Amino acid sequence: MIPFNKPSMIGNEADYINQAVSKGHHISGNGPFTKKCEHLLEAALGGGCRVLLTTSCTSALEMAALLLDLQEGDEVILPSFTFVSTANAFLLRGCVLKFADVDPDSMNISLAEVERLTTKETKVIVPVHYGGVSCDMDALKSFCAEREIYLVEDAAQALGSSYNGKPLGTFGELATFSFHETKNIICGEGGALVINDPKYFERAEIIREKGTNRSQFFRGQVDKYTWVDIGSSYVMSDMLAAYLFAQLENMDEINKLREEAFSYYVEQLRPLEEQGLIKLQKHLPKTNGNGHLFYLLTQSSEQQKDMLEYLNEQGVNAVFHYLPLHTSNRGVQFSNLCGALPITEKQSYQLVRLPMYHKISRDELDQVIQTIYQFYKGS
Ligand SMILES: *Cc1c(COP(=O)(O)O)cnc(C)c1O
C-alpha cells in the first residue's frame, strides 16, 4: 500500500528532543527550542515580522480573531473550500461568515468573489493558500488597504511558498502556519502566528499566555505576573519545538523534494490531460509553490468516486477534500448569505489528491501513475 502521507523524520529530531528533555528545566512553552524556531521562521520570512509558536494553526487563527477584537456580527469573508478551523476561529467570536467561491485554476478565493461579498460590515478577509499556492495577493492586499479591512492569511499549507518573490505569510497583518503531521514541516501538532504589524505583538504574547503578562515578567519588564487580558493556552511545548527545529533547519530540502515529486506527477500525467481525461493544476504567474499537495480533477463526481475506489483497491491511498463548508451541517446556516458557489460545488467533487510526502520514491510515484493509466484504460 502506498500511503497518502508519511510524517517525516529527517535528522536531528530525536537528538533535539533528548536535549530538551535531559536539560530538565524547560519542557513547557516558550523555552530555548521555541525561541530558536521563532528566529528561524522570522529569518525565513524576510526578517520584518515576529513569529509566535502555537499549539496548532487552529490556535493561531483563534489568536488572530482575538487580536483583531472582532465583535458579534462582524463579517468575515473566507472560502468555503477550506478546513473547518478557518471558519471556527471567527465563529467563536460571533462573526458572520460569508463564504466565497474559488477560482477554477487555483481553488483559491478570487478578487471578484471578495468584491461580490463585501459590505459595510466586512472586517476581515481570509485568503487560504490552497496547496501552498498563493492567492492573488496584489489584488487582495490593495482591496483591503483601500477599505480598512483586515487581511489574515491562512497559510497553514504554505510555508516556503512565495508570491512575486515575497514569502507567503508576510502579506496580511496576521498570518498562520500549521505543523500538523500532514503538512510539509511538522512536529505532530503545532502552528505559528506571524505578526506583520508590530502593534499586535505585545498583546499576542499575552493572549498566548492565558491572558497573563508572564512573558514580560520573565524578561524582567514588569515586576508582577498577573492577569491582564483575555487569552487561552496557546503555547507550544518545548519538546515539540525541539522536533520542529530539526525540521525547520531542513525546510528548503524538504520542500525541494516535494516539488520534484509534484513536477514528476505533472510531467507523467500530462498525456491524460491532453486526451481530455483529467485536468492538472496550472502554474499561475508570480506564484512559487512548496509541493504541499498534488491533485487532479476528474471529469465528474462519479468518476471521482470510481477513481478513488479503484486507486484504493489497487493499493494507492488517494483521498479527496474538502466538503464545502457552506453545505456542511454547521455551515449551511450561512449559505443564504453567499448564494450558490458553483465552482466549489463542482470541483470539490472532481478532485482527487494523490500520495505526497517527503521522500516518496520514484517507484512509488510510478506505481501511482500507472494505476491511474490503468483506471482510464479499463473505463
Ligand atoms: C491544516 C490546516 C489547518 C489546521 O491546522 P492545525 O495545525 O491542524 O490546527 C487550517 N487551515 C488549513 C487551510 C489547513 O490546511
The DSSP result for 120-155, as a single string, is TTEEEE--B-GGGPPP-HHHHHHHHHHHT-EEEEE-
**Fold exhibited by the domain 252-378:** Aspartate Aminotransferase, domain 1 (3.90.1150)
* 89 CA → ligand 1 middle, Å: 11
- Distance from C-alpha of 141 to C-alpha of 149, rounded to nearest angstrom: 9
Binned at pLDDT 50, 70 and 90, residue 26 comes out as confident
pLDDT attached to residue 23: 74
Residue 147: how many other CB atoms lie within 10 Å: 11
The average pLDDT across 333-342 equals: 95
- Supply the mean pLDDT for the chain: 97
pLDDT at 379: 67
Atom 8 of ligand 1: nearest residue by CA position: 180
**Mutation choice for ligand 1 from 53, 54, 55, 58, CB with most ligand atoms inside 8 A:** 58
Kindly state the cell numbers that stand for 24. Answer: 530538565
Query: Is the distance from CB of 267 to CB of 241 less than 8 angstroms?
Result: no
What would the pLDDT profile of 46-95 be if each residue is shown by its tens digit?
999 999 999 999 999 999 999 999 999 999 999 999 999 999 999 999 99
Residues of the chain within CATH 3.90.1150.10 domain(s) are: 252-378
Distance (Å, whole) CA 304 – CA 59: 33
Q: Which residues are registered as beta bridge partners of 154?
A: 128, 176
Residues known to be catalytic: 183
Ligand 1 — pocket residues by CB below 6 A? 56-58, 82-83, 85-86, 128, 154, 156-157, 178, 180, 191
Q: What is the predicted pLDDT for the residue at 378?
A: 80
Max Cα-Cα span within the chain:
73
Phi, psi dihedral angles at 33 (to 5 degrees): -70, -35
Residue of the nearest CA to atom 2 in ligand 1?
Answer: 156
pLDDT band, residue 260 (cuts 50/70/90): very high
β-pairing verdict for 174-178 and 150-154: parallel
Distance 163 CA to ligand 1 centre (A): 20
pLDDT of residue 350: 98
pLDDT band, very low/low/confident/very high, at 339 (cuts 50, 70, 90) = very high
Mean of pLDDT values over 188-205: 98
Query: Rounded distance, CA 128 to CA 36, Å?
Result: 27
| pLDDT tens per residue, range 288-310 | 999 999 999 999 999 999 999 99
What are residue 188's DSSP bridge partners?
A: 180
Distance, CA 185 to ligand 1 centroid (Å)?
A: 13
CATH class of 13-250: alpha beta
Report pTM: 0.97
- Provide long-range contacts, Cβ within 8 A and 24+ apart, for 14-22: 15/246, 16/242, 16/243, 16/245, 16/246, 17/239, 17/242, 17/243, 19/242, 20/238, 20/239, 20/241, 20/242, 21/239
Distance of CA 259 to the CA centre of its chain: 17
Bridge-based pairing state of the strands 162-163 and 122-125: unpaired
Q: Which three cell numbers stand for residue 123?
A: 472586517
- In the chain, CATH 3.40.640.10 sits at 13-250
Q: Convert 41-66 to b/e letters by CB count within 10 Å (16 or more is b).
A: bbebbeeebbbbbbbbbbbbbbbbbb
Cell 503555547 sits on residue: 235
| Distance between CA atoms of residues 365 and 378, nearest Å | 20
